Structure 1
Amino acid sequence: MNTAAGIRPETVAVEETVRHGGDDGALPGIADPASVAPRDARELSRVFFRRLAELEEGTHAYQYARTTLIEMNMSLVRFAAGRFRGRGDDMEDVVQTGMIGLIKAIDRFELSREVEFTSFALPYIVGEIKRFFRDTTWAVHVPRRLQELRLELAKARDELSSRLDRDPTVAELATLMNLSEQEVVEAQIAANGYTSTSLDAALSGDGPEDGEAVLADFIGVEEEGLLLVEDVHALAPLMAELSDRDRRIIHMRFVEEATQAEIGERLGCSQMHVSRLIKRIITRLRRGMLGELGYA
């Protein structure tokens, strides 16, 4: 087989890798993973995911496998980002945001799911891009439901204003939008978060003057201790669901600060096995903290 016969040399390499890759535990060297065609990337990704699950996190081989997977699947990010072209934002920012979703998908994907990685990864990528638009368009974070409701509210207000020749009441808006008055009020309040005012703006008068109060003077600071309390309370029930051995491993690693090798000696298993156990436990706890147990 050669290029003259219409067969791409990289395809031949992929076929050889899929046939033999992993038999001796070695990963193929790919000079430019980003240039691998999407069809070939799907085949190669299976090989790399298989080895990634066997490798110890933090090793050179693990980092090579993970980095190669990211670069090989960048075409997924470009494909997803293309759906948002024309919104006026720098596409490079959109692509970089999509890369975060790709990395999350790679870290959470397991071959045992028996689904194509592309099908698993696209929701993560698109989700990160949509979150980017929500967070950068609005001055403050507002739930998506209320963001969409704001647009409907604006249309309803314009329609009633032209029809009634005055500003509509909450009750009139609620009737037209088929919502409760409380929901209309929530949408009106949420709409205030679309734009922001400078923290240096004077609270009274036409302009800032010496000794005049500004909004920043009345803004509190975030107490990190309270955040830690919230995290501890959220983690406690998840820890209670772990087996005795898993809780013991977590205690040895993060309370006693024992090394993986020391834990392996106590449990009677290899350091690599301990690494896999810790990764599995941490992944489960993280997903529980993020409300993603449905993916476990």
Structure 2
Amino acid sequence: MTPLLTACSPTSFRTRESRTRRLLDQLAHEHDPRVCRRIRDEVVCCNLDVACAIAAHYRGRGLEAEDLRQVAMLGLVKAAHRFHADAGGSFLAFAKPTIRGEIRRHFRDAGWAVRPPRRLQELHADIRTAVAALEQDLGQPPSTMQLADVLGTDARSVAEARELPGCYSPTSLDAKRDEHRRALADELADPHGDPSVAVDDRLSLAAALRTLDPSDLRLLRLRFEDELSQAEIGRRLGVSQMQVSRRLHRVLDRLRDQLEAA
């Protein structure tokens, strides 16, 4: 993206408000197009730090920070051209939604490497709002089930929506999923492999799983089928995250030993 403006000089609120109001009042009585353009440029420069602050709120979501800054500044420029002082109201009250809308439009048009269904996009936005509210009430991050209850949906949909940031910047197939699971590429079927090997592996795993007690099987289902975090499992079972981690290690080590001996 070609740089639009590069400086984001901090300005005090009162200074910015006063100068912006004075410039817009001058603009309302000016008829020379060249002077109007110069005044709008000054309005934009006066409020650059606001655009930068809004752009910073969207960092870490898969798009380059500098691109977000440029899009925010573009939104500020559009706001400066659309705002009319004689309509009343504050310029920033008009400009901030315009800037946010420009950034969200940029995410919608350029941010998705894989475009998810709209229902999941909307649910993802609702989850972000619900998490902030629940964290204040609970004093800790809410679980998937708690979010599902608040949002009136099921845990699987919440889990899917919480994975959407990966659609902005997909995970490498060689990346390890966590300490207990192999890389994604290792879990993909080999199109040139012997299908009987996969059948043997499944049969061996099924036999090993039958040796586990119900509590260990439930632990594995919560972790690998429901894909809950160790902290979420701990809250579900009424134990600490450390206890969950130790139990998982013990169960997985036992399964691994049985499969290697098979």
- Fold agreement, TM-score > 0.5: no
TM range, smaller chain: 0.3 to 0.5
TM-score normalised by structure 2 residue count: 0.41
Q: Which has the higher contact order (CA 8 A, sep 6+)?
A: 2
